[in-house]
Every structure is written in structure tokens, then in C-alpha cells.
Amino acid sequence: MIAPILPEVIDIGPGALKRLAAFCTARIDRPQGGSSGAAIRLVADARTWAALGSEAADALRAAGLAVRPTIFEEPYLAADARSVLRLLIDDDPRERIYLAVGSGTITDIVRFACHRTGRDFISLATAPSVDAYSSVVAPMVAEGQKVTVPAKAPIAVFADTEELARSPRPMIAAGFGDMLCKFSAVADWRLGALLWGESLDEAIARRSVEAARSCVEAASAIGAAKPEGLATLMAALVESGLCMAEAGHSRPASGAEHHYSHFWEMRLLAEGRPPILHGLKVGIGTLETARLWDGVRSMTEAEAASRLGRSRLPERAAEERRIRAAYGSGAAEVIAGHERFLAMGESEREALKKNILAGWKEIRAFAESVPSAEETRRLLALAGCPTEPRRLGLSRREIALGLKSAHYVRSRFTIKKLALMLGLDREVLALIR
């Protein structure tokens, strides 16, 4: 793997705008004779322009830099062809740096456009809502489907903690949800390494958990939108993005709980409904995975053996029917992506069961590293996240469908797959119905 180019500067604290201007001034060499002409293309949406973009433009102009703003006015901006075209259609070669003023979507549009045009960009974060600031991939919407494609990280991330404190509370809560999930995500990664032949980077796994732990310790300061809590959250989100970039995949930051979120997101997208903040969906997913981990934590090896003894290989045709019912027009792709599980035969299944039992002590240790469902609920509430799935605006049927079918989204071994083999998920689903 080629090492990704990561941000040179990560600046989180009060007064970040001044340092942003200094960074840009040092970065942009001006031609002889003074004026630099066009230099920075600032990209914002109406909200982030009002919140921080206009102030940033003033600060940069005061530092002698030319700034051209592009402001997206759409109520539900998406990282799609339309947004990218809007940027590229009047791309000015004299503008060597793009400045993304926003959070997830704006940053993804800019990171994609800059990757394809060979530009550098700086991220000026307006909300601690998502762990993708330092990411080297971008989730884009193409033909109504979400696809994750290569993109680039910003050369610098600036976040003014006083500005972060003014960001909408649900966005702060979403950032917390996107961090609290790391305990379960990393435990899933460990399952993948133990049972599914994946490689685990121990140092990165620990960093991801450490970042999550810092947010747990700051949960009430984050819930109260105190600048010191938001500085911790923002630093953790950036760290999580770096963990993914360095690992070269999303395992350090995303497991079964993210699959639930992706499933619901795909449905909203397909039906043209307003999006729900990523981290809030992930928070609900994390509550569900915590329940599954609770079931594993209290299970003796003898009980696991007896449950696995009763577990039957699912029939391929029945699995495909379930996928088609849940994924509609996207089913063919999901089926193709899930081939390793679908193609599993009796002997492989038995070997997997043996490995689960042989590793049961380790698996219970993974479960120990994940906060209980009760603790997860308490922490989510403390940070202002919804803890009832219905509060997300999804129907009962959609929630149940997601909890049952989201694991088909990726062919990764997760707590959900383990729970299915142990017959645990049926019991957990029965509890929340």
C-alpha cells in the first residue's frame, strides 16, 4: 500500500481563523509585483457561509489573499455529480488551494474534486459531526447509490472551538455517536482477524479505542457543548479519520453498527427522503451492537458450544430472498458483495464454529472491551443523542428490516454475524420489538 498523504497541520482551538490565514499566506507564493490574483476558492453552503465562511473570507482577504467563494444553496446538499460539476465547471487554474468550510458533505465534495484535479485543499471544520475530515476516501452518490471512492485528505484541518460550540446540537451529538461506536467497531475488527483471516494493526486498533475513550470521559462536556469537550471530540474525530487512512480501510472506525446506518441511509436516498445525520444513526446501531456484545459477554463456553451445535447453515436461496426483499434494486450488488458468506459450505461452517469455540476466551475479552448496552444508552443520552430508533424518523418496519438485513451490506465478520450463528440476534430483536 502506498502511504497516504496526511494533513501537515491539525489545528483545533480558539482563534483558529488567524492561524488559517497565516498558513495560507505562507503556503501561497505570490508572483513578483504584489497581487497574487486568484488564490483560494472557498466552498461553503448557505449555513456554513453565514456561520464561518464569510468571516474566514474576510480574514484571508485581510491577509492579502484573493478569495472566491462558491456557496451551495440546496437545502439537502449531496456529494453527487451535480455538486462536483458546480465546482469543476468554473475551476480556475490560478486557484491552487480550495478551502472547504463545512463538515461531512462539503468536505467530501471538495476532497473528491481536488483529488481529481490535483489541487490541495484545507478543511475549515464548522461542526464536530463526523470522523471523515482527515479521510482519504469520499462517499459519493452516483446513480442514486452511495459509493466510496478514492479521494484525498486536506493538507490542513482547522477547527475553531468557539465556532464548534455554536454548531447545531444534533451535529455535536452525531460526532459523539460516530466516536462511541469505535469500541464495538474495533472489537469487530478483532473478530475479523480471529475468525475471517483479516489482518489487524494492533497500534491503530488501540489508537481508535483511545480516541473513543477520550470522548467517553468528556461526554458531559460534549453534551453541554463546552469548547474543551468539543476540542476533545474534534481531535478524536480527526484521529479516527487518520486511523482509517493509515490502515487503508475503514475497519478501525466502522463495524456492524455502521452497517445499520448504511442500510437506513441507502433507503432514505432511494426514496428521496431527507438525510438523517450519520452519527445519530450510528449511535442507534451502536446500542444494538452493545446488546449483542452483552449477550456474548455473559455466555459460557459450554453455552456457546451448545448454541453453535444447534446452529444450521442458512440456505443460499433463502438468504438471497432476504437480500432481495430488503435491498430491492440494489440486491444484485449486495449478493455479489456477500459471496464469501453465501458460498459457505457445511465443512467451512463447521471449521468456523470450531474456531469460535477455540477462541471463545478471546471473544469474551473483546466483549469486555465494549461498553454495555446500559452504559451505551447512558453515554448517548449524556451527549444528546437519540436512544430510541423511532426518534430518527424511521418507521418501525424500517428499523426492524435494518436490524435484520444490514449485515449483508459488507462481507465482513462482525458481532452481528457471530450473534446470528449463536442465535443471539433473535433474542435481542425480540427484546426491542
Query: Taking the complex as a whole, how short is the minimal distance between the CB of residue 178 and Zn ion, in angstroms?
Result: 4
In the block, which residue shows the cell 489541487? 119
**Looking only at residues 121 through 150 of this chain, which bind Zn ion when binding is defined by CB under 5 A?**
none
Query: Taking the complex as a whole, how short is the minimal distance between the CB of residue 133 and Zn ion, in angstroms?
Result: 12
**Stretch of 34-42, 80-88, 178-186, 244-252 lying at the interface with Zn ion (CB under 5 A):** 178-186
273 C-beta neighbours (distance < 10 Å), count: 12
Tell how many helices (H) and how many strands (E) occur in the chain.
23, 8
**Stretch of 161-169, 176-184, 269-277, 329-337 lying at the interface with Zn ion (CB under 5 A):** 176-184
Q: Which three cell numbers stand for residue 300?
A: 459460557
**CA of 248: how far to CAs of 14, 154, 201, 279, 367, in Å?**
32, 16, 11, 21, 25
Give the whole-angstrom CA distance, residue 74 versus residue 49.
Answer: 13
Query: Taking the complex as a whole, how short is the minimal distance between the CB of residue 19 and Zn ion, in angstroms?
Result: 27
**Stretch of 171-179, 296-304, 338-346, 367-375 lying at the interface with Zn ion (CB under 5 A):** 171-179
Query: Taking the complex as a whole, how short is the minimal distance between the CB of residue 404 and Zn ion, in angstroms?
Result: 21
> Which C-beta is closer to Zn ion: that of 178 or that of 246?
178
Query: Taking the complex as a whole, how short is the minimal distance between the CB of residue 297 and Zn ion, in angstroms?
Result: 24
Query: Taking the complex as a whole, how short is the minimal distance between the CB of residue 266 and Zn ion, in angstroms?
Result: 15
95 binds Zn ion (CB under 5 A): no
Q: Shortest CA distance to 381 belongs to which of 294, 301, 280?
A: 280
Q: Where are the alpha helices (DSSP H) in 298-395?
A: 301-310, 316-327, 331-337, 339-342, 346-358, 360-368, 373-382
Give 123's strand partners. 100, 157
> Which C-beta is closer to Zn ion: that of 53 or that of 177?
177
Total residue count of the chain as it appears in this document: 433
> Phi then psi for 70, rounded to 5 degrees?
-120, 120
Give the whole-angstrom CA distance, residue 403 versus residue 406.
Answer: 6
Which DSSP helix (H) or strand (E) runs through 429? helix 424-432
CB within 8 Å of 244: residues ≥ 6 apart: 131, 135, 136, 137, 250, 251, 252, 253, 254
**Looking only at residues 32 through 91 of this chain, which bind Zn ion when binding is defined by CB under 5 A?**
none
> Which C-beta is closer to Zn ion: that of 177 or that of 389?
177
Query: Taking the complex as a whole, how short is the minimal distance between the CB of residue 414 and Zn ion, in angstroms?
Result: 15
> Which C-beta is closer to Zn ion: that of 41 or that of 134?
134
> Which C-beta is closer to Zn ion: that of 139 or that of 389?
139
The two beta strands, 120-125 and 156-160, are parallel
- The site for Zn ion, by CB under 5 A, has a size of 1
> Which C-beta is closer to Zn ion: that of 96 or that of 184?
184
Q: Which three cell numbers stand for residue 162?
A: 468557539
> Which C-beta is closer to Zn ion: that of 237 or that of 418?
237
Binding mask 181-220 for Zn ion (x = CB under 5 A): ----------------------------------------
Question: Got the DSSP string for 102-113?
Answer: ESHHHHHHHHHH
Q: Which three cell numbers stand for residue 340?
A: 464469501
> Which C-beta is closer to Zn ion: that of 7 or that of 175?
175
Q: Which of 160, 178, 398, 425 binds Zn ion (CB under 5 A)?
A: 178
> Which C-beta is closer to Zn ion: that of 250 or that of 405?
250
> Which C-beta is closer to Zn ion: that of 95 or that of 239?
239
> Which C-beta is closer to Zn ion: that of 95 or that of 108?
108
The two beta strands, 137-142 and 145-150, are antiparallel
**Stretch of 47-55, 113-121, 175-183, 200-208 lying at the interface with Zn ion (CB under 5 A):** 175-183
Q: Shortest CA distance to 164 belongs to which of 110, 224, 246?
A: 224
**Stretch of 103-111, 118-126, 170-178, 289-297 lying at the interface with Zn ion (CB under 5 A):** 170-178
With beta carbons less than 8 A apart as the criterion, state whether 113 and 138 touch. Answer: no
Query: Taking the complex as a whole, how short is the minimal distance between the CB of residue 245 and Zn ion, in angstroms?
Result: 14
Cα 65 versus chain centre, distance = 34
**Stretch of 63-71, 173-181, 194-202, 387-395 lying at the interface with Zn ion (CB under 5 A):** 173-181
Query: Taking the complex as a whole, how short is the minimal distance between the CB of residue 103 and Zn ion, in angstroms?
Result: 12
Residue nearest to Zn ion (CB): 178
Query: Taking the complex as a whole, how short is the minimal distance between the CB of residue 201 and Zn ion, in angstroms?
Result: 19
In the block, which residue shows the cell 443523542? 385
| Burial class, 33, CB count within 10 angstroms (exposed 0-12 / middle 13-18 / buried 19+) | exposed
Query: Taking the complex as a whole, how short is the minimal distance between the CB of residue 328 and Zn ion, in angstroms?
Result: 24
Residues at the site binding Zn ion, with contacts judged by CB under 5 A:
178
